[in-house]
Amino acid sequence: VDLNMASVPLLTRVSGLNKTLAQNIVNYRDTNGVFTKRSELKKVERLGPKAFEQAAGFLRINNGSDPLDNSSVHPEAYPIVKRICERNSLDVSSLIGNSDFLT
């Protein structure tokens, strides 16, 4: 789900989000502008660590500051992906969707 485009009804279908949290995300976005990284979700009113953990992997940010935010990689796994990139001299963008490398 595109975090910067999704409506309240669509956000309520994301794991960990209810109608109140979905509305708070939209309100935050309307007040502060688009999300540039997933971690900004932690600034949304009443969205705690558990809701973040459950929802983050299903929310995408197109053209954000971290290419992993537009992938299915959960934020908890970002350090692992970044280590894989470092060890193989790849940047994160070239790894995402690279099925030849990932198999």
Residue 92 lies in a domain: yes
For residue 99, the model assigns a pLDDT of 86
1 located within any domain: no
Residue located via tokens 């954000």: 64
pTM: predicted TM-score of the whole model, two decimal places: 0.89
Residue 79 lies in a domain: yes
Q: Dump pLDDT digits (tens) for 63-99.
A: 999 999 999 899 999 999 999 999 999 999 888 888 8
- Residue 60 contacts residue 1 (beta carbons within 8 Å): yes
Q: Cα-atom radius of gyration of the chain, to the nearest Å?
A: 14
The verdict on residue 41 lying in a domain is: yes
Count how many domains the chain has.
Answer: 1
What is the three-class DSSP state of 43? Answer: helix
Domain of residue 64 covers: 8-102
Tell me, what CATH number does 24's domain have? 1.10.150.310
